[in-house]
Chains A and B, each alone.
Chain A
Amino acid sequence: MPSFLHIADLHLSRSSQDYSFCVLTEFCSYVIEHRPELVLIAGDIFDEFADAEALRVPFREHIASLPAETRVLAIPGNHDILRMGSRKLDVLDFGIGEFPLHHFQLLHGADLEVLAVPFGASPPSPEDLPPPADGVNRVALVHGTLTGLGLAGPEQAEADDAALDPLAYEKLGVSYIAAGHIHKPFLSQGSPCVYAYPGSARVWRRGEEGPRGFYHVRTNRPGNYDIERVELRASGQYRRVVVTLNADGSLPELHGKDMLVEAADLLELVLTGLVPDDAALERIARDLRNTLGREVRELALNTDDVFVLSGAASHPLARGFLEAWKLRYEQAETEQEREVLVKARELGLRKLKSRIEARS
């Protein structure tokens, strides 16, 4: 019984070339070590079409390094054709064994069938596709958002093309939908069909929490999938840390388990609090960029919740509030309590700021 790897959303780009290719390298090492029969790449290999053109050669080299008995099957995602204009993917050779670009294709393996539907193409209707033979697993390779599972997030600006209907695929006899496009990993092992998003293979933007990875799927018997999630180290993680400035507007010490970061990480520091003036804030930002900023792949500073208030340090009410707050924050036990307290701090400071400024 064959086993296959299911990976998606590599978003190889020129702007993060080293990083994104590190991830690809790690993945390829895994393939070489474990020798699965099949590798399925569910779209968004590149961050945009121009990247596809520019990075075609190194990508091909990576693919060429894979063992010969491993077939590679991929489909383009919405990013692969982003800003394509009048040019075409067709003319580019990526070294991928099967790379359908415009229409669905049914590709046969030993005991596995893959129904590959490139982004923007329609799946076949049931009368056009015979059901899979006895004992053969049919896997769909698609790129988009499966509807009805609550996967759609408001932050994605979707084209309508991205809507995928899981029930339609079930009707086509598919028992595993290998999907891409949603960057948060998702796995639903219901029957009759498994819905799987491995998540983005590398951290693409802020908010993509949790380790990155892909699925190694072994099929013991028809319709039964043993799915193992394999984490990628080279992709690092997105980490979000909230830093509350001291009452006098200075940066507290950053240490402890909150600050366990790795070189590949995308670190978002959310600063909250009062500073006496913009210059102070600038200084803090500069310090952070020079210290933490050098330890991680990317440092994102979020200063939306920092208030500039002159005389803040000396204002008795401001001081009193911040001190009282600090006591409570140190006593907070759950993440939820801390989140509420951070919000409370922001609101309290806002009110203080508006009243103090109204007085003067």
Chain B
Amino acid sequence: MIEKISLQNFGRFERDEFTTAKVTVFYGPNESGKTTLQHALLDALCSLDKRKELGRRIHTRYGAQRRATVSPEKPFGEFDAETLENLFFVDSGKLYLSFDGTTEWLDAVKSSLFAGGIDPRLIAEDLEGEASTRRNKSHMKSYQRDMEQREAKLLELEQLKAQHRDALTEQTQLLKDRERLAVLDDTRGRLMQEISDLELLLEAQESYRRRDELEELDHAIQEKARLERDLESLTHLAEDAEPQLQATEARILKARNELSAVEARRKLLQQQCIDAEQLLDKRHKQSEDLLPHRQTAAELRQTLDTRNPRIRTRHERRWSSSWLIAAGSFLFAGLLAGALGLLGRVPGIPTDALQVPAALGWGMAAVSGVAALALLFLKARTYVSIEDRSELDNAAAEIRKALPQELLQAGEHTEYEALRDRLHAIEAQAAQAEEAAQEAEQNLRNTKAALSAAEAEYQQMNERMIGAEADRNTLLSTLGVRDSAEYSRLRERYRAGVESLSLLKTKLEEAAKKHSIQDIPRLESYCAREIRHIDEQLKRERLTQDEQRIKRNLHDGNRKRLDELEQERELLMGRSEREHGKLSDRLTRLPREVLRLEKEIAGLDSVLQAAELRRKGAAKAAEIFFGIAEDTGNLLLELAAGISADYHHIVGPRDALQLQEFGLERATVPDRSGAARLPEQLSEGTRDAFMLAARLALAVRSRPEAAVFVLDEPFTAFDPERTRNALLLLAQKQDEHPYQYLFFTKDPLLLDLLKEVFPELQLHELEPILGEPE
């Protein structure tokens, strides 16, 4: 409680002191210093901030020399000037508190009532912000970033693990490569051994071939020697007796041929003789056969020539058939015509029509008849010549009777001539036969002569031949051969031998040149040596051509395999070298990187967990603060109740007022009629009553411990009853709280009431100072 207020140089108060009690009244007219005293009180109780409006105002108005103190010094502790001025200074003019808008002091008052000066809702909202998972929040942004980083690192980890697995697979592969290389080396060794073996085998075949060649040469040499020996024995055949021998042989042959020819001729002639003889016989016979007939024929012929039979001709009249027919025809025609003429006489047929035809018919009939008769008499009988061959036939018959049929062979019609000719022929024939017989005889004689000539020749030839044979035999024995065949053979052998020998020699000389050997004897020893040499060296068996072919294929096959093998080996070795070093690096490096990443991820995990815990904690704390704020809301209701009570105290029983929000902005106050009204809608007196109640309620809750109220004409709008009620309310408050009241008034009525309600008040009467501006 303030006990004393002292002022120096404060406005009109140069040096003044006022004692104060629980209730102090400053009674005086206008301009008696009431306002100054209030300012002094503010100045003394609060530390006025010169920067703020109030402080500036007071400083400007009263100057730096002013001094205002209270005793004791800070009776209420720290008192905020604005709170003091606005809440605890109850001034009718300023009784109305606008709860709308935000005034700092009012906010401070409101929140200090319930939360020690801090609005829990604000803290709760702050914490809610920190608990929020909305993306635009900075802590969520960094949370998101960390999450993304974690995801990225997890991905990276997976990739690294995959790389590591790959590296391990590669390592296994490299090991397999190594094993394979070992196998390949093994195979390679084996293959090379086999190839070498085969090559040796094939080389051996070459040696065999060479040996064969040399052996051939050797044989050739042996052959040469043999031939030479052989030929030696035949040297006597060197000189060629062949032509001689051939000549004799030719002679023999010629003689023989001639002999044969003669022989043949002889035989032929013999045969011819025989034939001629036969012919002669035959011809003789023929001639003899014909002889009698020849005579007959001659006689006949003479006879007939004399007689001279010939053909006789006679003429006869004969009917000619052709003219007969013609006549017949005319007759017939005439008959027909007659018929036609008769037609006219038949009953029933019109005679007119038939007049002409009938006439015609009669005419024709007449004509035809005449013609027929003419022909008949004139032409029908003609003269015909007839041959008479009877003479001839008789002659013919005579001949035939005289001579055999076979000689005659005559035809039918001209038999006689033919027969006559035949007579000539028979004569001729007989003459011919005779001639022929004579000819045959001559022929026989010739042939016989020829035959004997041939016989003579034959003898000659034979002798010649024998001579030639004898020559030959002599020659043969000279040559020492049995026969010329043998000589031929020998000769052939010699010749062949010479030929072979010369071939051999050529061959051997060539071979000698090839082997750079001077002569053939040396060649022989060379061959022998070489063959021995080869025989010593030969360690492999001999193969046939087919076997060689197989072995060569095998060799080629092996070579190919070896090449492939080498390729694979090179590939593997290259790979192994290339990869091994890098792989070791990777296998060392990758686990380390994996570990590093795992650590980073673990780090991020703990950061994320901490952030989440933080958010949850913030949410929980916000919850608690919201709870507190809500409780504050409850307290608000309590406030409303309190204000209501005070209000009712002043204005009498009414409905309770309603406080909608913590801030009194929407406080609704019931007026006398009971309608709920906003404060500004109330009548001045009612409003002032509410405001007073509100102020008191706020003030009481704001500083439940000691405070001071400065009331400057507070109840101008009140009627006396309300004024009394208000004063009684204030007195009641003073019973509950150690409040100090300082009244400033000029109203005597109020003074009386004050004296009535507060019997122990301290009164100061103030005098106005003329001429002093307030």
Contact = CB atoms under 8 A, between A and B. Distances in A.
B164 A167 contact: yes
Given A347-B130, A348-B624, A171 B172 contact: yes
Interface string A330-341: 000000000111
Contacts, number: 132
Nearest to A167: B168
Nearest to A320: B628
A145 B127 CA distance: 41
B161 interface: yes
B165 A324 contact: no
B466 interface: no
B168 A344 contact: no
A171 B168 contact: yes
A355 B591 contact: no
Contact of B116 (A145, A168, A317, A324): A317
A348 B123 contact: yes
B461 to A, nearest CB: 116
A158 interface: yes
B374 to A, nearest CB: 161
A126 B167 CA distance: 13
A328 B616 contact: no
Interface string A106-122: 00000000000000001
Interface residues of B, number: 48
Interface in A151-194: 151-154, 156, 158, 160, 162-165, 167-168, 171
A339 B613 contact: yes
A347 B621 contact: yes
A283 interface: no
A153 B595 CA distance: 10
Contacts of A167: 164-165, 168
B151 interface: no
A104 interface: no
A153 B628 contact: no
A34 to B, nearest CB: 35
A81 to B, nearest CB: 19
Given A125-B171, A315-B116, A352 B123 contact: yes
B641 interface: no
B624 A325 contact: yes
Given A150-B602, A340-B616, A160 B627 contact: no
Contacts of B172: 126, 171
A156 B600 CA distance: 11
B164 A165 contact: yes
Given A125-B584, A168-B168, A321-B628, A162 B595 contact: yes
Interface in B139-190: 161, 164-165, 168, 171-172, 175, 178
A50 to B, nearest CB: 28
Nearest to B168: A167
Contacts of B606: 154
B620 interface: yes
Contacts of A359: 117-118
Contact of A145 (B118, B168, B595, B600): B595
Given A151-B598, A153-B602, A356-B118, A164 B620 contact: no
Interface of A: 122, 125-127, 145, 147-148, 150-154, 156, 158, 160, 162-165, 167-168, 171, 315-318, 320-321, 324-325, 328, 339-348, 351-352, 355-356, 359
Interface of B: 114-118, 120, 122-123, 126-127, 130, 161, 164-165, 168, 171-172, 175, 178, 584, 587-588, 590-592, 594-596, 598-600, 602-603, 606, 613-614, 616-621, 623-625, 627-628, 631
Q: 8 tightest A-B contacts by CB?
A: A343-B617, A154-B603, A344-B620, A348-B621, A152-B598, A344-B621, A165-B591, A316-B116
Given A125-B584, A320-B628, 20 more contacts: A127-B178, A150-B598, A152-B602, A154-B600, A154-B602, A158-B596, A163-B592, A316-B115, A317-B120, A320-B120, A324-B624, A325-B624, A340-B616, A342-B617, A345-B621, A347-B127, A347-B614, A348-B127, A351-B123, A356-B116
